[in-house]
Structure 1
Amino acid sequence: MAKLDPAQFVREVRQEVARVTWPSRKETLVTTGLVLALSALAAVFFLVTDQLIQLVMRLVFKIG
């Protein structure tokens, strides 16, 4: 079993973080905008779908 050395662990983590390719601010803003837009689009889609299913169910079962 490997010896647990917190200092060595921290050094290795710092080395790994230094190798990470971080996205630019512009890339982050663009992808965030896309996520928000697609989430809103999905919400509208499911709202419309739910309303249509509700309408069909009311017609089929003559409720309301």
Structure 2
Amino acid sequence: MAIANPVKFFQEVRAEISKVTWPTRREVILTTIMVFILAALAALFFSLVDMAIRGGLTWVLDYFGG
């Protein structure tokens, strides 16, 4: 196992970072808003599913439980 040269390592890291395409401020804001909206929709969906399952189980237990 060879010992890596730290100077060469940081030069390679800098070269790789320069290849990265960084998002614009507008892209970051839009994708952040989209994430919040989709998270809220998912929370609403799972809340509705939870209420439906709870209501169904309550009905079944009341109907067959006596």
Instruction: Tell whether the structures are fold-level matches, with TM greater than 0.5.
Output: yes
**Matched residues in 2 for 1:50 and 1:5: separation?**
56
**Matched residues in 2 for 1:2 and 1:25: separation?**
41
The Cα shift of 1:6 comes to 1.1
RMSD: 1.3
**Matched residues in 1 for 2:5 and 2:37: separation?**
46
Partner of 1:15: 15
Partner of 2:40: 40
Say whether 1:31 aligns with 2:20. Answer: no
**Matched residues in 1 for 2:2 and 2:13: separation?**
17
Partner of 1:60: 60
Gaps of 5+ in 1: none
The Cα shift of 1:2 comes to 4.1
Give the TM-score normalised by structure 2. Answer: 0.88
The alignment of Structure 1 onto Structure 2 pairs a total of residues equal to 63
Gaps of 5+ in 2: none
Q: Which runs of 4 or more aligned residues in structure 1 lie more than 4 Å from their structure 2 counterparts after TM superposition?
A: none
Give the TM-score normalised by structure 1. Answer: 0.91
Identity, % of aligned pairs?
Answer: 43
